């Protein structure tokens, strides 16, 4: 689960762990994903913390490779990591645009690309991409966020079609 250090990602991690799933809590912050994993273990669940910048495609590839060595079958991927850098278009910096697109959209591409291959080989898996109504309706001051979430919707629909024949739902 990306973005498992707080908010929705943390709640998803805790809920899956309560249902017996071994959870890998991914966050840019070692402290936040570590706290989530520790709380899950303290409650009797199984969890591992993994600090990685999900906006860095090379870092995601390296992390995914290491995870798949430790856990050859990862059955569920939750792409939840997300940030905001709100501002009206004329005031939005290129950096704010790129950070949101990289964290919210490109991370989804990178994690799915690396984790889904073993799912398709096993002919079972679940990929859950957490998006927003902003990706459908838009939101003033959130051109970057809305574009990223709209991109996630398109990516989700495409991957669903690509992987359906291999019993991987997206």
- Is residue 54 annotated as part of the catalytic site, yes or no? no
Catalytic-role residue among 130, 145, 148, 155: 145
Q: Nearest-5° angle of CA 139, CA 77, CA 163?
A: 90
- Whole-angstrom distance, CA of residue 151 vs CA of residue 136: 10
Q: Any residues with CB less than 8 A from the CB of 96 and at least 6 apart, and which?
A: 85, 87, 144
Task: Please tell me the distance from the alpha carbon of residue 105 to that of residue 94, in angstroms, as a whole number.
Answer: 16
Enumerate the active-site residues: 145
């Amino acid at each position: 689960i990306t973005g498992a250090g707080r908010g929705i990602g943390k709640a998803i991690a805790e809920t899956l762990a309560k249902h017996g799933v071994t959870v890998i809590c991914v966050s840019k912050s070692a402290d936040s994903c570590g706290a989530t994993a520790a709380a899950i273990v303290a409650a009797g669940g199984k969890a591992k913390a993994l600090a990685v910048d999900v906006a860095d495609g090379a870092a995601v590839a390296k992390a995914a490779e290491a995870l798949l060595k430790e856990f050859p079958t990862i059955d569920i991927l939750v792409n939840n990591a997300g940030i905001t850098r709100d501002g009206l278009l004329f005031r939005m910096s290129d950096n704010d645009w790129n950070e949101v697109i990289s964290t919210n959209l490109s991370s989804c591409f990178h994690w799915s690309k690396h984790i889904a291959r073993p799912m398709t080989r096993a002919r079972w898996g679940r990929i859950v991409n957490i998006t927003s109504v902003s990706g459908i309706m838009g939101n003033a001051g959130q051109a970057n966020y809305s574009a990223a979430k709209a991109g996630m919707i398109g990516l989700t629909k495409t991957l669903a079609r690509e992987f359906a024949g291999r019993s991987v739902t997206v």
